[in-house]
Amino acid sequence: MVVPRRTSRDIRSDSRLDVLHAVLSAGETTRNELAQFTGLSAATVVTVVGELLAEGIIEERKVTAGRIGRPTATLGMNKARGLVVGIDVAETYVRAVMFDAALNQILAVESARDEHVLDPDSVVEGIGRTLDRLLDEAGVSREAVLGVGVALPGLIQGPQGVSVVVPHWTWQTVELEHLRERLGLPLVIENPLKSIAIAELWLGRGRNCSSLATINLGTGVGAGIVLGGRILRGATNTAGEWGHTLLVLDGRRCRCGRNGCVEAYIGAPGIQQTLREIDPTHPLVDLDMQNDFIVALAAVADGDEPDEAVAETIARTAYYLGSALADLVAVVNPEVVTLTGWTTWALGEHLLPPTRRHLLEQSPGGSALGVELDVSTVLGNSVATGVATVVLERFLVDAGLLTSNIPVAL
Amino acid sequence: MVVPRRTSRDIRSDSRLDVLHAVLSAGETTRNELAQFTGLSAATVVTVVGELLAEGIIEERKVTAGRIGRPTATLGMNKARGLVVGIDVAETYVRAVMFDAALNQILAVESARDEHVLDPDSVVEGIGRTLDRLLDEAGVSREAVLGVGVALPGLIQGPQGVSVVVPHWTWQTVELEHLRERLGLPLVIENPLKSIAIAELWLGRGRNCSSLATINLGTGVGAGIVLGGRILRGATNTAGEWGHTLLVLDGRRCRCGRNGCVEAYIGAPGIQQTLREIDPTHPLVDLDMQNDFIVALAAVADGDEPDEAVAETIARTAYYLGSALADLVAVVNPEVVTLTGWTTWALGEHLLPPTRRHLLEQSPGGSALGVELDVSTVLGNSVATGVATVVLERFLVDAGLLTSNIPVAL
Ligand SMILES: [Zn+2]
Ligand SMILES: [Zn+2]
């Protein structure tokens, strides 16, 4: 049994991390609330807050008179500390988002990617150009940015170092060094599933529960998993690849090379395939771009004109999603499941009620009875938000302002 | 983020627990080895060992001359401390196993269960009689036994208290009180999947890795999961119900009520169904008892006479098992997967090579490349061994000899 050992020093730095997380997730809070929320003693909170104030990581915002006349100061992150950038590299786009040091979104820019161009050089250049455009539009120099985080699909940690595994796309450590050079800023890279888990943990439902899964629905699908308040990474950082678990043995071909994966049914192209199987002549079947298809599907579903093929597509997608979520709940048994990603923003309200029903019906022994299934409250691109959060944490660690034995990124 | 907080007191009791686990898993060891194995300082090991010796939990076995002339004492569990009993309540049998306080097996007795009789009273009585027989055959009175652990299938922790969920078998807390009364000994109850995980963690591959899944193959199938050196329980204690995740959406009827579960294909009755589909006239199809069928299947496979239907049954079972393991690896990404349970003891050597191949082929991005898949080194009934381990740990906690904030059982 190899368990990371905790020393008194770790406990102290855990207290700092917990207070910092609590300030971040609350937006604005007080010392009293921090003690309640973190479970730390009032004395410890006062000490830690004092240190964080002295170091300029958090700031006092305003002082209000308390109920019994004693003034109370509210605390927040020190926004002026610097900027951080999170970049979501997806199959069809690169989205770069700038945040202040309190993780408020300042500006986002997006570049389309050609889904078929996957050589390392052009991917690196696409990421670099998107960052340049973001800095340009914000009128900000690299000096004002504390660091940049890039979420790359299929990031794994193998015996040959870090590599990125998407179809036709096998990056090695050398490409990552190339990326670091091109961006010209302190860089953290992260798997998108771990990124959405971090965003949900710090800024979403993770504030009130200790175990959760957050499901990304887009071109690809996957799960970010939090257990006991910590991100589940797995031995090679591939935990959460629930999108490539079986829905149907020997079923639809999946782009990962396997047949019958969950993603082949509820990834955006999979949903289009479902419509094609129901009605091959339906006009939406011909839409070329995935995002256009999902938005159009939602528009028809929201419209006044009944469309049986679209209704049936959504019903089957909910059946597939609920069945696959029942598998995840059976293995991991979390308290909360949230949905995120661009398919969720478009179709979430249609999918949620029937998916909840299927999840409940298919979970062993009613084990999903207590599981809350909801759309995530983390707005915007939670991949970018999550990886930006890691940048902030890493900056504080590297600056010696926070020590942590919790792995925050590769 | 609600994370259990650790205090200095917890760290001290963790050290005791770590030393105790290390002594147990090593069988016989030295202070030097304990320091290496646990990562504790030599001084801490000396202190903790001194306490455990004084309390009669461990004993000095013999003193040998060291390499440079200094004598070295070997340490082991104090077997005379008392006896513990672990009971595995399965669908087709009740097996009670007696261990000394070093977890050496002393005696086991097994009673057949009628798979169709599932009312609480007769299950309780069947467990009680098996325990009585064990004590009787060992010539041991209840006073000599520190406690008894019972592994019950489908144990969940819901809003109405603890219940046991197997088909037609929904126990509530009241039946568990009845069981406690009937057995007349300090009782812990545990889910069999958690029990095999504990056995693997303390006595098997858990000694050398921090994350693993151990797979029980019998009537039912499931996974005991260890992450970061801790048992994965989940919000309601149902984590690991991998046997009831989908292999084939809308596939074979499973006894849990779902269709297409892994268990319906690789549980013992599922394997017999596979043979039936391949050759409905094969003589083994008519064998009435599951265990007889699996043993006969292995005998034919081991025999000199080639039997194509049996070979094909084993090949398909390995395909199903490897595919389902690829799902588990995709979600949890452990370092090690071990197989246990009575189907494994009979068929493991036949299943292992093709299962390894399918697992590797079907895991996303080669993520299973580093995963070791092997038959468990925990011999005998690891459900009984695991739950007996919990009894020992619980006894030490209740006697004030060990304090632990780690949940060891319900
Ligand atoms: Zn796939
Ligand atoms: Zn089932």
Distance CA A214, CA A340 (A): 7
**Structure token pair of residue B67:** 């390499």
Distance CA A351, CA A314 (A): 7
Q: How far is the CA of B57 from the centre of ligand 2 (A)?
A: 42
A296-345, pLDDT tens digit by residue?
999 999 999 999 999 999 999 999 999 999 999 999 999 999 999 999 99
Instruction: Provide the residue count of chain B.
Output: 410
Which residues neighbour ligand 2 (ion) by CB within 5 Å?
Answer: B 244, 254, 256, 258, 261
Query: Contacts of residue B19 in chain A, CB cutoff 8 Å?
Result: none
Query: Is A151 within 8 Å of A88 (Cβ atoms)?
Result: yes
Q: How far is the CA of A220 from the centre of ligand 1 (A)?
A: 9
Complex prediction ipTM: 0.86
Please name which of A111, A233, A360 lies closest in space to residue B333, comparing C-alpha atoms: A233
Question: Is pTM, for the whole model, over 0.90?
Answer: no
Q: How far is B50 from chain A (nearest CA, A)?
A: 21
- Within 10 A of A63 (CB to CB), how many other CB atoms are there? 10
Query: Contacts of residue A251 in chain B, CB cutoff 8 Å?
Result: 249
Q: What is the pLDDT of residue A91?
A: 78
Distance CA B8, CA A207 (A): 25
CB-CB under 8 Å, B244 with A249: no
A354-395, pLDDT tens digit by residue?
999 999 998 876 777 789 999 999 988 899 999 999 898 888
Give the strand pairing for A336-340 and A212-217: parallel
Q: How far is B64 from chain A (nearest CA, A)?
A: 27
Share of chain A above pLDDT 90, in %: 55
Share of chain A above pLDDT 70, in %: 89
Query: Contacts of residue B154 in chain A, CB cutoff 8 Å?
Result: 364-365
Please name which of A84, A73, A103, A214 lies closest in space to residue A147, comparing C-alpha atoms: A84
Distance CA A55, CA A41 (A): 21
Please name which of A215, A247, A223, A230 lies closest in space to residue A339, comparing C-alpha atoms: A215
Q: How far is the CA of B256 from the centre of ligand 2 (A)?
A: 4
Distance CA B125, CA B179 (A): 8
Query: Is B256 within 8 Å of B379 (Cβ atoms)?
Result: no
The DSSP string of A124-160 is HHHHHHHHHHHHHHHT--GGGEEEEEEE-TTEEEETT
Domains and CATH numbers, chain B: 8-77 (1.10.10.10), 82-195+382-409 (3.30.420.40), 205-375 (3.30.420.40)
Q: Which residue has the tokens 């799960």?
A: A223
Query: Contacts of residue B225 in chain A, CB cutoff 8 Å?
Result: 331
Query: Contacts of residue A8 in chain B, CB cutoff 8 Å?
Result: 8, 11
CB-CB under 8 Å, A333 with B235: yes
Query: Is A254 within 8 Å of A264 (Cβ atoms)?
Result: yes
CB-CB under 8 Å, B39 with A209: no
Distance CA B10, CA B52 (A): 17
Handedness of CA B390, B394, B397, B400 (dihedral sign): negative
Which residues are paired to B156 by β-bridges? B163
Tell me what the pLDDT averaged over chain A comes to. 87
The HSE-up count of residue B142 (CA atoms within 13 Å, CB side) is 10
Q: Hey, what's the torsion of the CAs at B96, B97, B99, B103, to 10 degrees?
A: -120
Nearest chain B alpha carbon to A369:
B158
Handedness of CA B373, B378, B380, B385 (dihedral sign): negative
Nearest chain A alpha carbon to B237:
A333
A38-89, pLDDT tens digit by residue?
888 999 999 989 988 988 888 998 777 666 666 788 998 888 888 999 999 9
| Residue from A246, A317, A336 to probe the interface with B (highest B Cβ count within 10 Å) | A246
Candidate from B6-10, B59-63, B74-78, B243-247 with smallest mean pLDDT? B6-10
Distance CA A124, CA A122 (A): 5
| Ligand located closest to A248 CA | 1
Q: How far is A69 from chain B (nearest CA, A)?
A: 32
Distance CA B118, CA B255 (A): 14
Q: What is the pLDDT of residue B407?
A: 42
Distance CA B104, CA B146 (A): 15
The stretch A106-131 carries a mean pLDDT of 88
* Residue type for position A91: E
CA-based Rg of chain B, rounded to a whole angstrom? 22
The stretch A210-237 carries a mean pLDDT of 91
**Structure token pair of residue A186:** 């302190």
> Is the pLDDT higher at A85 or at B62?
A85
The DSSP string of A167-212 is TTEEE-HHHHHHHHHHHTS-EEEE-HHHHHHHHHHHHSGGGT-S-E
